[in-house]
Every structure is written in structure tokens, then in C-alpha cells.
Amino acid sequence: MGTKIFIDGQAGTTGLGIAGRLRDAGGFSLIELADHDRKDPKARQRAMGEAEVTILCLPDDAAREAVALAPAGARILDASTAHRVAPGWVYGFAEMAPGQAALIAGAARVANPGCYATGAIALLRPLREAGILAAEAALSINAVSGYSGGGKAMIAEHERAGGPAFELYALGLKHKHLPEIMAYSGLARAPVFVPSVGHFAQGMLVSVPLHLDALGVTPARLAALYEAFYGENGVVVPRGLWGENLTPEALNGSNRLEIFVAANEAGTQAVLIARLDNLGKGASGAAVQNLNLMLGRSE
């Protein structure tokens, strides 16, 4: 029969991605509601009670309503932004810190990270823990994602009409991933975060430029720091400094995360870069990883 999982909001991009991954993995039984029951509170509550874990793939307000609806003892993995910095929820970035995977495994409430946040935290947290970056550091973060992260309307625009080649967005500088980036990177000052969308379906690059002469650190030390921090836990850190071009699509279809350090010849400036699949490690892949941890299953 398999482990019973209920995906509340299965029809969305992330929900479909999770369902597909679970079917491919085997050993899972998806509780699926008829179309007329998908918004019925009682039907959803029954499904949550049957499931070993419920995965929420809903807008933020709907996710909060679903948590309030859940029967006592229900374990929930939330893919929305609603609970990423909420008390009582464990942040679902297993590689973020030693012991984080164990916290996820034992949690009743897990918040799946945002795609941009996964890359940004992976780059910044090790520097904060090493004392290289101050909490009040003035930082900027640049990122580009495939259009699949923009939901059904953006996907339709790009696939039907072509869509723009490239566009910046969230230029009010209040992107919804900023709170989790600050909370789990250890920042007290909001970075200037400039996300963008390219005319490609999926893949992501997140980059942070730094003036190393102002920080008193060498590019080689940064590269060695990342290698030591992440070891062999699924985050790939190529040895040495990176001097080649990077494209965002190389990890599509995987749950991998790569970190690169590029620097100028004088070693006074560097760009830290994280590459991931915005639909993999940035969404459904991370959700399945967290689900497996919650269930005590190997991936």
C-alpha cells in the first residue's frame, strides 16, 4: 500500500512536482480528493487524519487555514512562505547546519525553504558562523531563476507567447524570501535582494558580491571554508576558485546544490555563487528530502 501522504494543493506546480517524485520513488500512497472535495474542510481534515504526513502546497493564507484545520497529531510539511520563520516550525534546509537533519526528522511541523533563500543561506551562513561577515554587513544578493518558479500564469506567458528574454522583479525590495534569508543566515540588516527571471524553464543562480579587502579574507580561505563546512553532505563545492562561465540549468532534475567562489586576480573582490534547480532543491526536491527525513526513510 505504501506510506500515506496527502498533498493539499496538489494541482499547483510544486504539488505536481512532489507527486511525480513520490510516484517515481515508490513506497508511497497518495491520498487524492475528488475535484468537488478539494476545498471541502471536512474532506481535507479527514485526509490529514489518514496521512502520515500532509504536505501543503497552498498560498500563504490558505496554508495557515490548513494548519488550523489539521487534527491533533497531524504532521505537516508546508511548502508555502507562511511558516518559515514561525515559532514551533523547523526550517527544512537539512544541510544548513550540523544537526538540522535530525531536527527535521523529529519535527511535527516543517517549513520547506524558498528557492532563492536556499542558495543565499548556503552562501552566507558559513561566513557568519566563521565571523567573516558581521550581522550588520551591507550586502547585495542577485539571483536569476527559470520562469517555472513564477507559477501557472508566468509559465503560460513564456510557453505560449514567448515571454520576455529577461526581467527584474520585486523592485520594491520586499521579496517574500527576505525574512528567512535574514533569520537563517544570521543577518540583522536586510540585504539588497534583486531577483530576476530568464526565458528558460528551470534552474537558478544566486550570487553575492563581496569586497574581500574590506573583510580581511582571501578567496582561497573562502573556498576552503565552504569545503570544510559542507563536507560530503550533498552540497558540492568544487575545489579552488572558479574561473569559467556558469549557466543556471546544469542541475535541472536533481536535488543537488553547488557553491562556487570566483575572484579577481588581486584577490580583493569575489562573487559567491550557488546553483540549484528551482523546482528540485528549491522546491519539490527539498520537500521530498524533508518528507523522507520525517518518515525515517533513506532517499
- How far are the Cα atoms of 20, 33, 47, 90 from residue 37, in angstroms, in the given order? 21, 6, 10, 30
Q: Is 57 a catalytic residue?
A: no
From 115, 123, 225, 273, the catalytic residue: 115
Catalytic residue numbers? 115
